[in-house]
Structure 1
């Protein structure tokens, strides 16, 4: 079976990025495509073969395997493959085999390279590297959706000035939008009520429509901050409704602009550092979701966003440590509070529980237990009040097991390394992400160096940690390349934490152990592993690109949820992604799967 020109054109216009090409460019490309029918079980190419070009599946299915003959992807109609090899030296870096009768469309290498050179849409689609995001713009260039209040106070055209004023007082806002069937009819502000009603001596039962500003100036959701600023300055107004057509969807006030400028990590850190108690701190940490939306919406890279959000948790922890010392008195022996998990790696997002422990100087004795138990409970309870909920696994300093002298901690690590049981692997995975937060840092320095050296020299332990790192697999499957959750509350979604970033986090930890690297942050570990030769140069580039895409997709998903008024989580429905986004995310998961396979076979990624 082959396709005639009209059929090929119809098919390509349903496939990204061909659907975005100018019609003349697409029609000029048609004669270059060759079609090939292959029966189930045939090799399309093997690892190291010279590639004919880019492969596009019209009908059928193809399994792609890595250098260890481990299947890393199952592709269906409208999926492309082979571009990674074409983008390097023209030789296959994977193997591909049909799993059912398949019709392939092949775009020869020369035509493919010319396509990505001349068409920007194709270049963006087939370039799997992540273009660095721009630096954070200022207020004037921020999208209006990151500035506006999404639930403005409204009232109907039948309300009186008294009921409108009462509603404004209850909501503690300075304006009310008058709507009819969702459409904006007018706006009334505190100034209108004071000047026209009180100053004009109007009765309280005056219709709100008599004092409102009818058909007020508004902006669309596509506006940016400078549009709001210019309108306010030019027209001398303090409230700008945001309308999608005639429908009211939000409002921006001068207070919103001030709040936006104040919602920075530095501002939140300052407030927390001077808070009098956990309740006061909680009022500040409650603004973290809005900070995440702002940071993501204004173009910051994922490692910057998570670092800034983690800085706030660090500050909250140190402030609670200081308050604990004020409450219980000076510590009887030196201590060190450490964070593990996402806080330890400086990778917190909008969803974080607490993982921490307490190391005590070896001069500690049982008579000091009451002090440090009360001390740890105070800090952990305070963190919970601030929104860093208790660890479900009780991995917190409030548990006596994780509140011990340094000598006991050394025994812990030696035992885990000597006998890497399943529990030992799990605990070591968490504890290798330790980072000092407050106290006497010297208590940890020798322990970290000794533990890394001991672990790196124990090949059996490292092998078990490698095996442990493969437990979380990327969600690759048949349906558009994804294996979604099959049942329950999050059915038909991808878990971007456990099946997205966690596999990369686990790989980064293994590379750090193998190389004796002290970095704790995942991206820093990958970069250090690449520099140290633990991870090949090409494998490192691919994995960093894949990690960036997955981590940024996760943050963008959480920001979208927050903007919609929902609590953020890690569950993304692939249906909410475009074909372009799905394709790139699938490729990122394939890269992670390839690196997992390489680690499982004791190899580095192909160069």
Structure 2
């Protein structure tokens, strides 16, 4: 490919992030690119090679493979590669070769690094580091799009005040927007009904247009919480419409602001601790989606959000145990209630079933078992009533198999380690995430340490755990895209749980096994694995950054659903993301697949 500056300029103007560069900066960049032609089958660089710069594909297809020769990407026109190595020591962390004749552009590494240093947007595009927005924001700093109630109640101007009042009552709101199509014309509040209708004795058939506040002051979704606070204080109003280009987008009330300030995980937990019955607990657990959405909007890190959400689940469990003991009497012997799964790892989100078990003192007699079966049923039924649904796999203390004395639990673990069949692998994976919730923790201490020691020494068991962990693969297609679900209710989406966070959870569990690490939380496991040398510093940084992005994307997806009145789930359409977001999410999945490949080839994460 000859050096055609005009053609290079036109091509780069169609590629992000170059299309977003300022004119002067762009002029210098497109002149810096060097052309490179490669033939089908030709190696572009190998693992560990010094990289000349960032590669950009103009035509053709390029294969990128990891240290084990496993393909992690098949890239086409407008895709870049080589940035991971450039952002490290300048040496390739993958290998690349041409699958077909290809024309490339190479941005010299010095120019690339200058751009990374001087252009924040450019640096952010090529760096997968944990989002910097993860700091705490108070209400005054939050955007109204994160505070407003979307899809507010509305009516036309010719609606009668009686019908408008009935609609407000049915929707349990204190105002109704008056619109023509989506255009905001006015607003009617409960206070208006009292002062302008009832006080003046107007008939119930009076049109809303006669008494509404016309052309009310409004704010945009991008305005801040401080703007709405100031407006409400200055104008002495309690309702502020949120509009965009004159179209109604939402509404914010004083109640919304008060609720945002008042509802927190700490407040919910305090209320839970005082609940006198299962029925009294239910209203508090119904606040969990709102707490989650609020924490996401405040920019909290994903591991902080899931920890706070899990704290609520722990509090509910402890309260139910106390209520159960009050109803059944004191337990005949000591016991320990433990959580496994996402609650055990402190990684609960807006979608959680229950996974739990009971460890009993070896002093338990057969006659005592009726008490613990009744206690387990009381707690599990209560959790289900509170929105923590029964485990589809029956991994609950109500299953007699998971309500046993210490000696039986010790026998379980020894058997799973000695005979690691498929069921043993599944059960061991769940049980390695056990965390005490309430009761006598001494019943678990020795069991956990002994099990980790025996499991880590059994190479056959570890090999089976490795194979089992590779059952969940990131949703990557061969081309630079996502492998979405092809049919059914969730067609054209990706599962951010089973194909997103679970592959990293599995890796974290393996590192914990190899290093005999006692943390149950995935991010804490990765950090401890790095500190103990189980995983290399560079491998840990890449994997933690990838996990942060995937887990944050999952929570943002759920928060978006909650804000729009939908039940949260884990199925996200990639089309809902920007090109920038899709590119980075896919890069995160590539990192996870690379780490899976490394551990699958017996190299751990040290390569």
TM-score bracket for this pair, using the shorter chain length? over 0.9
Could you tell me how far 1:485 is from its partner in structure 2? 2.1
Of 474-483 and 558-567, more deviation after overlay is shown by 474-483
Alignment partner, residue 350 of structure 2: 350
d(CA) in 2 for partners of 1:252 and 1:343?
Answer: 34
Aligned in 2, Cα 1:126/1:168: closer, same or farther, shift over 3 Å? Answer: closer
- Is 1:313 equivalent to 2:316 in the alignment? no
Alignment partner, residue 371 of structure 1: 371
Could you tell me how far 1:178 is from its partner in structure 2? 2.0
d(CA) in 2 for partners of 1:123 and 1:115?
Answer: 7
Q: Check whether the contact 1:33–1:106 (CA below 8 A) recurs between aligned residues.
A: yes
Could you tell me how far 1:527 is from its partner in structure 2? 0.6
- Is 1:117 equivalent to 2:109 in the alignment? no
CA RMSD, Structure 1 to Structure 2 (Å): 1.6
d(CA) in 2 for partners of 1:590 and 1:59?
Answer: 22
d(CA) in 2 for partners of 1:90 and 1:546?
Answer: 20
Alignment partner, residue 80 of structure 1: 80
Of 442-451 and 102-111, more deviation after overlay is shown by 102-111
Q: Check whether the contact 2:535–2:606 (CA below 8 A) recurs between aligned residues.
A: no
Alignment partner, residue 201 of structure 2: 201
Deviations 1:563-607 (A, max 9, x none): 222222212222222222122112211211121111122224456
Q: Check whether the contact 1:539–1:604 (CA below 8 A) recurs between aligned residues.
A: no
- Stretches of structure 1 lacking an aligned partner (at least 5 in a row): none
Alignment partner, residue 5 of structure 1: 5
Q: Check whether the contact 1:416–1:425 (CA below 8 A) recurs between aligned residues.
A: yes
Q: Check whether the contact 2:534–2:606 (CA below 8 A) recurs between aligned residues.
A: no
Residue correspondence of structure 1 range 113-192 to structure 2 within 5 A: 113-192=113-192
Aligned in 2, Cα 1:269/1:56: closer, same or farther, shift over 3 Å? Answer: same
Q: TM-score, normalised by structure 2?
A: 0.97
Q: Check whether the contact 2:73–2:479 (CA below 8 A) recurs between aligned residues.
A: no
d(CA) in 2 for partners of 1:148 and 1:111?
Answer: 44
Could you tell me how far 1:131 is from its partner in structure 2? 4.1
Of 500-509 and 597-606, more deviation after overlay is shown by 597-606
Q: Check whether the contact 1:306–1:349 (CA below 8 A) recurs between aligned residues.
A: yes
d(CA) in 1 for partners of 2:59 and 2:49?
Answer: 23
Q: Check whether the contact 2:12–2:30 (CA below 8 A) recurs between aligned residues.
A: no
Of 413-422 and 108-117, more deviation after overlay is shown by 108-117
Q: TM-score, normalised by structure 1?
A: 0.97
Residue correspondence of structure 1 range 322-361 to structure 2 within 5 A: 322-361=322-361
Alignment partner, residue 447 of structure 1: 447
Alignment partner, residue 15 of structure 2: 15
Q: Does the residue aligned with 1:64 lie in a helix, a strand or coil? A: strand
Residue correspondence of structure 1 range 533-552 to structure 2 within 5 A: 533-552=533-552
- Is 1:385 equivalent to 2:385 in the alignment? yes
Q: Does the residue aligned with 1:325 lie in a helix, a strand or coil? A: helix
Alignment partner, residue 422 of structure 1: 422
Residue correspondence of structure 1 range 245-324 to structure 2 within 5 A: 245-324=245-324
Alignment partner, residue 477 of structure 2: 477
Of 318-327 and 121-130, more deviation after overlay is shown by 121-130
d(CA) in 2 for partners of 1:223 and 1:48?
Answer: 48
Could you tell me how far 1:140 is from its partner in structure 2? 1.2
Could you tell me how far 1:134 is from its partner in structure 2? 4.2
Q: Does the residue aligned with 1:130 lie in a helix, a strand or coil? A: coil
d(CA) in 1 for partners of 2:472 and 2:169?
Answer: 52
d(CA) in 1 for partners of 2:163 and 2:584?
Answer: 53
Aligned in 2, Cα 1:451/1:121: closer, same or farther, shift over 3 Å? Answer: same
Q: Does the residue aligned with 1:517 lie in a helix, a strand or coil? A: coil
- Is 1:240 equivalent to 2:240 in the alignment? yes
- Is 1:49 equivalent to 2:49 in the alignment? yes
d(CA) in 2 for partners of 1:194 and 1:292?
Answer: 36
Q: Check whether the contact 1:132–1:301 (CA below 8 A) recurs between aligned residues.
A: no
Deviations 1:487-522 (A, max 9, x none): 222222222111111111111101111111100000
Alignment partner, residue 103 of structure 1: 103
Could you tell me how far 1:460 is from its partner in structure 2? 1.4
Of 255-264 and 572-581, more deviation after overlay is shown by 572-581
Residue correspondence of structure 1 range 377-526 to structure 2 within 5 A: 377-526=377-526
- Stretches of structure 2 lacking an aligned partner (at least 5 in a row): none
Q: Check whether the contact 1:289–1:562 (CA below 8 A) recurs between aligned residues.
A: yes
Deviations 1:186-223 (A, max 9, x none): 22222222222222232333322222211111111212
Q: Check whether the contact 1:75–1:481 (CA below 8 A) recurs between aligned residues.
A: no
Q: Does the residue aligned with 2:15 lie in a helix, a strand or coil? A: coil
Q: Check whether the contact 1:526–1:540 (CA below 8 A) recurs between aligned residues.
A: yes
Q: Check whether the contact 1:18–1:26 (CA below 8 A) recurs between aligned residues.
A: yes
Q: Does the residue aligned with 1:520 lie in a helix, a strand or coil? A: coil
Deviations 1:435-488 (A, max 9, x none): 001111111111111111111111211121112111111222234242222222
Q: Does the residue aligned with 2:547 lie in a helix, a strand or coil? A: helix
d(CA) in 1 for partners of 2:165 and 2:504?
Answer: 55
Q: Check whether the contact 2:418–2:461 (CA below 8 A) recurs between aligned residues.
A: yes
